[in-house]
Structure 1
Amino acid sequence: MHIRTTEQFPYSVIEEDLRIPMPDGTRLYARVWRPDIAGPEHPVPVLLEYLPYRLSDWTAPRDAQRHPWYAGHGYASVRVDVRGQGNSEGLPGDEYDETELADGVAVLEWLAAQPWSTGRTGMFGISWGGFNSLQLAARAPESLHAVVTVCSADDRYDNDVHYTGGSVLAVDMHAWASTMLAFFSRPPDPRHIGDDWRDMWRQRLEALDPLIHTWLDHQTRDDYWKHGSVCEDYSAIQAPVLAVGGWHDPYRDTVLRLVEHLPREGTAPVRGLIGPWSHQYPDRGLPPGPAIGFLQETLRWWDHWLKDEDTGVLEEPLLRSWISESHPPATVYPELPGRWVGDARWPSAGVTMTTWGLPGAASAGPVLVRSPQHTGVDAGRYFPFGNDSDLPPDQREEDSRSVCFDYDPLAEPLEILGRPRVRLRLTSEVPRGQVIARVCDVAPDGSSTLVTRGVLNLSARHGRDRVVDWEPGATEDVELDLNGIGHAFPAGHRIRLALSSAYWPWVWPQPGSAAGWSVEPAASALDLPVRDAVAAGDAERPAITFEEPEQAEPLDVRYPEVPGQRPERVVVRDVAADEWRLEVDPRYGGTRIYPDGLEFTEDALETYTIGASDPGSARTRSDWSIRLRRPELGWDVRIRVRSEITADGADFRTWNEVVCAEGETEVFRRCWERRIPRTAG
């Protein structure tokens, strides 16, 4: 990776903190990096990253890698904290609520009107910032001329952190709600706010309400989830979009949908890029790699749309994808083997959906799928961040808890690109249940590497917007799409389809689901998106290459060693109780000391517990502690959050507590308990 100091940029960089006024008088905290030439005589385009994650501490190391780099290449690059977060005034709200989006439009208008601005703006971001970039593009503000959205979603219900296939994402809906409760409880920083920090903090704390309440109140795809889901009307997006994802990020299907539904040509075209990455910017070098020169690649996008320079971005294939070669199962890969391919349109002329009947189906009768409830403990992390235990280990134990259909060893290599589909004829004796399908690459030595997977809540089989219970004893045909993937199966390997009726803790088990369901193999099939390099035109296209990663000089943040640090991921089995417990340390950042003297400590532990034969025994717990300290100011605050969820056949039961202290004095404590009717999830 090439690290540049500001002296090595084409332009010298000026950094400035600002307050951007909103129409109601609320001021949002912003940091601006801009080239020294920027001014009324030499205005420059403006790039915006708009997040709730505190620019003065939590994202500061990441911000330092990219915003000064853009500024050194002739842009004003701006990082803004969402209202009620970090050092911005106002009260925190829900994800992507109307206030956040209206504020975003106002921020763009303000930036476009500055004397150092040409009036042309672009938005970029990963995850939350990628979400609201798309959502603001759908509002078509006049100044917004281009978007780069990374690891984001077009569908807030079925491709976000809350639900999948109509089922509650136990693994991350709860953990993320608890994380947000802890994050929303953090105070402004007196170094930037002054003596008003304490009053601002108190107002925020009094306004707190755990987001898990709202998310569980909406268990089907209703108007709440449609708000902010740009898939409701792709045509509303009026800015060119560079959509970026990674095969190990849960949001990668959004890239495939955007390149399918947004125009390839015209004034607001789309281009897609999917690499081997986790939920990270592709230049950061976090596993799995290889990393690319992502900042340079985005600069081509900005220069084309914001400076009218012909950088060749529209000559790129509609979709550039990484095809991973077969690899042994592991929880982390520094780099994956594979190659880049390009497709001129999507769905691609080089990809054919081929039907594979289930092996042995001709002679097989109905097969009972009744998985133990701890099936899924080897699923890996829903949001891989590049940590050592993120990815799924060898799937042989998971396969043993599932019903597997193994195809004959491949006589020749086979590549897939896109979303596989599973079609099943099922019989269920209970009204509620779930289907989980996994496709694995089985090597001659028997090792099983997860390729992709999908989930279907059977009550959502006729649409995510409704609940249709299964008539006990009835037989129906159902379909579920698996997550998109680019993968090459080598000759001699087997393709395995594994079916299970449980997948804890990814999805919360349905009441009565221990009974499982039966599948008729003869009436079921696996559809694979098989890619043919000749039909795709690979030979006629120049090889796809990227520059080496390049970043600005890193922020001088120190990460002290923490003695006795717990493991990232532990599975514990209580043999006598037949109970399984998964303990996860998400490792978002840990303890760090910033160059301005701020000491930031965070610790989190997620716990998921279930009995092997009892879906009603499922319970989750999330514990957070955060400390912010400035010794030179005598400032020392602590936040502790504890959150738990259990469920029976009728209700989810949630319990949340927030405790805040200044020094040794407790200044806030609140506990919320709720029973939420279990209508669908």
Structure 2
Amino acid sequence: MTPSHPQDVAPRTTWTAPPGRAPLSSRLMRATWRGLPARRYDVGWEPGLVVPAADGSPLITDHYFPRGRGDFPTVMVRSPYGRGLPWSPMYGVLLAEQGFHVILQSCRGTGGSGGAFDLWRNEAADGQATVAWLRDRPWFDGRLGTAGPSYLGYTQWALALDPPPELRAMAVQVGLHDPHALFHPHGAPRLEDTLAIGVGMTYQHRGITPFLRATLRLRRHLPDITRKLPLREAVRPVLGDETPWFDEVLSRPDAADPYWEGASTAAAADRATVPVCLVSGWHDILLDQTVEQYDRLRRAGCDTSLLIGPWTHTSALQRGWPDVFADTLAWLRAHLCDDPSGLRPTRVRVHTGGRDAGWRDLDDWPASPAGEHWFPAPGGRLTAEEPASPGPLASFRHDPADPTPSVGGQLLSPSAGARDNTALEAREDVLTFTGPPLTEPLEILGPVSARLRVSTDTGHADVFARLCDVDAAGRSTNVCDGLVRLDPRREDPSEATVPMSSTAHRFAAGHRVRLQISGGAHPRFARNTGTGEPVLDATALAPVRITLHAPSALILPRAGATGPGGSPADGSAAPYGPDGARE
């Protein structure tokens, strides 16, 4: 077994750094960033190294390194999106100038690497093969970390399923661990983002110009593409025939389908011992997965930290990058260089939204805090009093030929995030229930959900629920939301729980809490055609009438409230013990 501490590593052969500098484009982008730590070392670059994959396919790898004397730890970054912008400056240059060797590798079948790309089946084995290759490098001193966002986070979790002894730290930013949950959250296909992911997989490693052209083409044609039937044929002009996985992932909504076997790497967090730094944003498409990762790691007793900012999936790596990089760098230094001086004083740091927005440090993240119930009532009211008797509250007709549009929220596109919902809420197919003006601020912290009793006239329907903050002028801004696809076999009416993601938000005095309900959010989610046909092959549309019944409830995790068993819901709860219970 290869030793994991540098003092135990066998003497290495002398390594002479090659003369190459980092790519000019990467150096120019680095020069535009502000708020990042000062450079410690000049950066060298060794491009185009060939690393044998598990099956022998060549994995093209670039090596960035600090030009200085002494031993430096290594950070491995594995990507299906190429090795150029923005990954080269963000990871290769920035980490190397702080005193790390960095290997930036194109996953199998992408960016010039050999073999065929697969969404998950090769990453664990190819990560292990890359570590085996590292052991023979004269500059590798036995200290290894990993870093990267999104699918680059998935490659980290795949390696952590059987962590090599050299692995000492992971930095997973807006990261993925369960592909099925990404493409089919709560049973509804995530359409717009799946198309965007397909464009990224196909074009990003070809250079910035082809990628931007493809992205703009998708944005321009998105309304037409997502309304045509059948959907399988409508996407061809954008994706061509180069992403067969698009058909595969959207045609298999059931997580129990054999196609998804081995896709989730959640087990890596369940038994993790390698310290993990997690980063996400309130409007990140992978927020729920990040929160789940944190909860699993805490239950395993693993050293972990969590940073959640006011970001989307992409803005976390743009305007949020100084905070994200600082958190990542401090974590890697603490666990690879035995320098904890830059670590935050608390395990969790979150940005609280609302008029009095700001950062908040917490001892822990509330997994299941007490829920404060708000009840939809006749007349579009939202009250603290549970209705005295059951019965219909309101109904609307959802027509998939004119689907309820998506506005903001968790998306990859620039339209993600908090947006004005006034026009959306004026539609006849959107219900709103609004509380009275608050006499004092209301702060919520944790997972939000809606427990709704609904009935339909056809059985085929989706339910979209959204929490909004309504200011004194009447402007309604989305905070968090969720969508579930109803099971047509259920009893009618029946209770449907809509997980609405997690948040930290402060409703100011004078503002009002609003629950918004509709039958979809298109094209963020593929529309429910109302016929029960498979989403890719449906050729007909059928309207559905959806009725909301009492008692239904919006469940808000009020900060400072007492959770189940008396545990505080403000993040100060004791850590999990080895059996998963709080100590």
Give TM-score scaled by structure 2 length. 0.75
- Give distance in 1, aligned partners of 2:350 and 2:248: 36
Deviations, residues 361-420 of structure 1 (Å, cap 9, x unaligned): 4588412232344454242375345x4x44454212222331111111111101112221
The equivalent position to 1:84 in structure 2, one of 109, 112, 137, is 109
Aligned to 1:137: 160
User: What SS class does the counterpart of residue 497 from structure 1 fall into?
Assistant: strand
* Shift in Å, 1:177: 3.0
Aligned to 2:424: 398
- The change in CA–CA distance for 1:226 and 1:519 in structure 2 (over 3 A counts) is farther
* Contact 2:198/2:243 (<8 A) preserved: no
* Contact 1:137/1:238 (<8 A) preserved: no
* Contact 1:341/1:538 (<8 A) preserved: no
User: What SS class does the counterpart of residue 78 from structure 1 fall into?
Assistant: strand
Aligned to 2:553: 525
Aligned to 1:257: 292
Q: Please tell me whether residue 225 in structure 1 is matched to residue 264 in structure 2.
A: no
The equivalent position to 1:168 in structure 2, one of 176, 189, 192, is 189
Q: Of Structure 1 and Structure 2, which has the larger fraction of its residues in helix?
A: 2
* Contact 1:11/1:35 (<8 A) preserved: yes
Aligned to 2:347: 318
- The change in CA–CA distance for 1:24 and 1:170 in structure 2 (over 3 A counts) is closer
Which amino acid in the other structure matches residue 368 of structure 1? S
The equivalent position to 2:337 in structure 1, one of 283, 307, 321, is 307
Aligned to 1:479: 497
* Shift in Å, 1:237: 3.0
When the two structures are aligned, how many residues end up with a matched partner?
484
- The change in CA–CA distance for 1:310 and 1:503 in structure 2 (over 3 A counts) is closer
* Contact 2:442/2:507 (<8 A) preserved: yes
Residue identity over aligned pairs, in percent, reads 28
Q: Unmatched 5+ residue regions in structure 2? A: 1-30, 211-238, 379-386, 531-541, 563-567, 573-583
- Give distance in 1, aligned partners of 2:526 and 2:416: 20
Q: What is the 5 A alignment of 1:129-528?
A: 129-158=152-181, 160=182, 162-182=183-203, 208=242, 210-222=244-256, 223-225=258-260, 227-232=262-267, 234-263=269-298, 268-280=302-314, 282=316, 284-285=318-319, 292-311=322-341, 313=343, 316-326=345-355, 338-347=357-366, 351-360=369-378, 361-362=387-388, 365-366=391-392, 367-373=394-400, 374-380=402-408, 382-384=410-412, 387=414, 389-391=415-417, 393-401=419-427, 402-459=430-487, 469-470=489-490, 474-512=492-530, 514-521=543-550, 523-528=551-556
Deviations, residues 210-245 of structure 1 (Å, cap 9, x unaligned): 212211332111243352323356323332110100
* Shift in Å, 1:184: 8.2
- Give distance in 1, aligned partners of 2:390 and 2:124: 55
* Shift in Å, 1:146: 0.9
* Shift in Å, 1:448: 0.8
Q: Please tell me whether residue 128 in structure 1 is matched to residue 151 in structure 2.
A: yes
User: What SS class does the counterpart of residue 220 from structure 1 fall into?
Assistant: coil
- Give distance in 1, aligned partners of 2:249 and 2:287: 22
* Contact 2:191/2:526 (<8 A) preserved: yes
* Shift in Å, 1:325: 1.8
* Contact 1:396/1:447 (<8 A) preserved: yes
- The change in CA–CA distance for 1:427 and 1:96 in structure 2 (over 3 A counts) is same
Which amino acid in the other structure matches residue 519 of structure 1? L
* Contact 2:370/2:569 (<8 A) preserved: no
- Give distance in 1, aligned partners of 2:345 and 2:199: 41
- The change in CA–CA distance for 1:271 and 1:6 in structure 2 (over 3 A counts) is closer
User: What SS class does the counterpart of residue 65 from structure 2 fall into?
Assistant: strand
Deviations, residues 172-203 of structure 1 (Å, cap 9, x unaligned): 224433553456889xx9xxxxxxxxxxxxxx
* Contact 2:454/2:495 (<8 A) preserved: yes
* Shift in Å, 1:47: 0.4
Give TM-score scaled by structure 1 length. 0.65
* Contact 2:449/2:499 (<8 A) preserved: yes
What root-mean-square deviation, in Å, do the aligned CA atoms of Structure 1 and Structure 2 show?
3.4
- Give distance in 2, aligned partners of 1:5 and 1:233: 34
- Give distance in 1, aligned partners of 2:35 and 2:360: 34
* Shift in Å, 1:7: 13
Which amino acid in the other structure matches residue 414 of structure 1? L
* Contact 1:30/1:79 (<8 A) preserved: yes
User: What SS class does the counterpart of residue 530 from structure 1 fall into?
Assistant: coil
* Shift in Å, 1:519: 1.6
* Contact 1:13/1:33 (<8 A) preserved: yes
Q: Please tell me whether residue 105 in structure 1 is matched to residue 128 in structure 2.
A: yes
Q: Unmatched 5+ residue regions in structure 1? A: 190-204, 327-336, 460-467, 540-681
* Contact 2:464/2:481 (<8 A) preserved: yes
- Give distance in 2, aligned partners of 1:537 and 1:446: 29
Q: Of Structure 1 and Structure 2, which has the larger fraction of its residues in strand?
A: 1
